[in-house]
Amino acid sequence: MKDTRRVLRWFPLLAVFAIWPGSRPAVADQPQHLAFRVGKVVTMDPQNRVLNNAVVLVRNGKIEKVGPAEGTSIPKRYELIDRPDHWLVPGLVEAHNHSAGSGRDLHDYVYLTNPGLRTLEALVPESNDIKRARAGGVTTVHMIPGSGNNLSGFGTLTKLAGDNVEQMLIQSPGSLKISQAGNPERYWYGVGRTFMYYNLRQTLQKALAYHRQWERYEKDPSAEKPQFDLFWHDFRGVFQRKVIALIHTQWYQVVMSSVDMLAKKLKMRIVLGHSTFEAYQTAPLVLEQGDIYASNGPRQIHFDRRQRKIMGNAARWWQGGVRKLGVNTDAGVIPQEELPYQAAMACHFGWKPYEALRGVTRVPAETLMLENRLGSIEVGKDADLGLWTGDPIDPRSACELTVIDGRIVYDAGQQREF
């Protein structure tokens, strides 16, 4: 344990040689295998199992075993982390982040639609923001460009540990970012919704045409090979539904258009990236579409001035039947480390704690199509874990240890950051 702590905070030099799944050699004083014996494991697996007094074994960056403390022997060479009063929960997943970069590349106001752009190049490993996020138990974020224009490029799925982008990266492009109404209306005088819809549709139709060309060629190699175009090529994943489209969309009318244009007509796999204000009123439409995820935030409440009521947005989506529901921080609007606090506020205003915790772990993992690797404590999945003094969404609970890919990347025992 002491060894762990020593390594933990200032590991940049060591991390060059750090374990990376499969490929890299193990560092001498970074234990290869971890064993957690804790009071409670919230697995967030499909059965929603919560194990009291359980053991979780971590080996080579993956979860090796999950079982009751009694009857699960801890093999030798495993560093035992014995916290009988702590909770072990999956590393938290943020579906809407702008703070993993320098902050200066949030918006590129080049055109109203900028298909070629990616946030990958903007990532800043080991920034203060990233370190703090880890102290809040956050292990994976979806870093996307801002909402200053209508289509601002492609986002990046990244873990919050690694000295360079290659080490951090999960997937790029990780998403297409589209912003409907609101902020992009400020792009230039006279840019209104009709024009944005027209412009967006036109851009997407062009991208779709490009994709179709390639599809034809792939089906029939005798056809003429289309010319590769970096400007449009990333869209192929979107139309193949391998890459999600995260939509900055908030008001009910705008959400309706997102559902209709993007999900229904263009068959994209969309995420409602804010889904705030009175957007919860579109719950029936969202449900009907079936494949839409709602990532609610940063606003957790809506003041309904038609009936003088404070609505908890997440609670209202939930009550409307939407289960593909998580919360986000829109970091740095809300600091990334306060992701679980967003869940707490969703609960304060009417949601339910377990669902809310699921809404910052498994659901965002599904939202980002990473559920095979992240979001739950199941054998074979990435060992992204948070060891908490209690219920993670209670602001009184602190994250004691954060583990990413089997490595302890934050230890409050050395210095508590949050």
Partner 1 sequence: MRRRSAVFIFAAALLTAGPSAGRAEDSKPKQPEARYFAVTKATVHTVTGPVIHGPTVLCKDGKIAAIGHDVAIPDDAEVLDAEGFHLYPGLVAVRSSGLVGNEPPEDNTNVYSLSMTLGLAGGVTTAVANDTAAKLSFGTLEDHVVKRNLFAAISYTTRDPNGRRTFRQALEQARRFLRDLQAHEEKKKTDPAAKPPDAASLKGLNQTALKLLRHEVIGVADADTAQELKDLAELAERYDFRLVVRGAREGWVSAAAMARAGLYAVITPRTRRDRDERSNHPNGSSIENARILHEHGVPFAIVPGSTSISTSGLAGRDLWQLAMEAAFAVRGGLPDDAAVRAITIDAARVLGIEHRVGSIEVGKDADFAIVDGDLLHYMTLVRWTVVNGRVAYDKQKDSLLEHIRPGGDRDAPPPPDYWPRRLGEG
Partner 2 sequence: MRLSAPFRLRSCRTLMASAAWLGAMWLGIASPGTAWPGTASVAGAAEEEVEEETFVVIKAGRVIPLCGPELPRGEIVLVNGKIRLVGNDLDYPKTARVIDARGEVVMPGMILPRTRWQLANYSRSGVHGDRSVEQELYLDQIDFEPMLAAGFTGACFYPAGTGIPGVAAVYRTAGQQQHRELGKAYVRITMTSPGRDKKVLRGAIDKAKKEIEKVEKARKEWEEKQKKAKEEEAKKEEAKKESDEKEKQDSEKNTGPGADPGAEQDPPEKKEQDDKNKAEPKQPEKFTPPKIDPAVQPLVDWIRDKKGPALLFELTQASDLVHLDDVLKQASELPATGFYLSASYSSDYDRVVEDLGRRKAVVLLSPRIGRLPYTVVRYNLPGELAAAGCTVVLLPLADGDSQYQDLRTQLADLVRAGLSRDDALKAVTLHAARVLGIDDRLGTVEKGKQADLVFLDGDPLAPATEVTRVMSVGEIVWEASKQP
Q: Residue 295: beta bridge partners?
A: 326
349 binds partner 2 per the rule CB under 8 A: no
CA distance 93 to 385: 11
Question: Exposed, middle or buried by CB within 10 Å (0-12, 13-18, 19+), for 271?
Answer: buried
Cβ of 341: how many Cβ atoms within 10 Å? 21
With CA atoms as reference, report the closest residue to 336 among 71, 86, 140.
Answer: 140
For residues 206 and 187, what is the distance between their CA atoms, to the nearest angstrom? Answer: 22
Beta carbon of residue 304, minimum distance to partner 2 (angstroms, whole number) = 8
Q: Which residues from 114-173 bind partner 1, rule CB under 8 A?
A: 128, 132
Indicate whether 248 belongs to the interface with partner 1 (CB under 8 A).
Answer: no
Distance CA 38, CA 36 (A): 6
Asked if 410 is part of the footprint of partner 1 (rule: CB under 8 A), the reply reads: no
Measured distance CA(141)–CA(67) in Å, rounded: 28
| Binding test (CB under 8 A) with partner 1, winner from 341, 361, 363, 382 | 341
Contacting partner 1 (CB under 8 A), which of 60, 213, 319, 414? 319
Find the shortest distance in angstroms from Cβ 309 to partner 2: 9
Q: Is 323 in the site for partner 1 (CB under 8 A)?
A: no
Binding mask 380-399 for partner 1 (x = CB under 8 A): -------------xxxxxx-
Residue 43 CB contacts under 8 Å (≥ 6 apart), including other chains: 49, 50, 51, 66, 90, 376, 377, 378
Q: For residue 121, with 0-12 CB atoms within 10 Å meaning exposed, 13-18 middle and 19 or more buried, which class applies? A: exposed
| Binding test (CB under 8 A) with partner 1, winner from 235, 277, 293, 410 | 277
d(CA 84, CA 69): 10
Which positions from 291 through 320 interact with partner 2, judged by CB under 8 A?
A: 303, 305-308
Count of residues in contact with partner 2, rule CB under 8 A: 5
Interaction partner, residue 67 (partner 1, partner 2, none; CB < 5-8 Å by kind): none
Taking the complex as a whole, how short is the minimal distance between the CB of residue 405 and partner 1, in angstroms?
Answer: 25
Instruction: List interacting residues with partner 1 (CB under 8 A).
Output: 128, 132, 252-253, 276-278, 281, 298-304, 306-310, 312-313, 315-316, 319-320, 333-335, 338, 341, 344-345, 347-350, 352-353, 393-398, 416-418
Residues at the site binding partner 2, with contacts judged by CB under 8 A: 303, 305-308
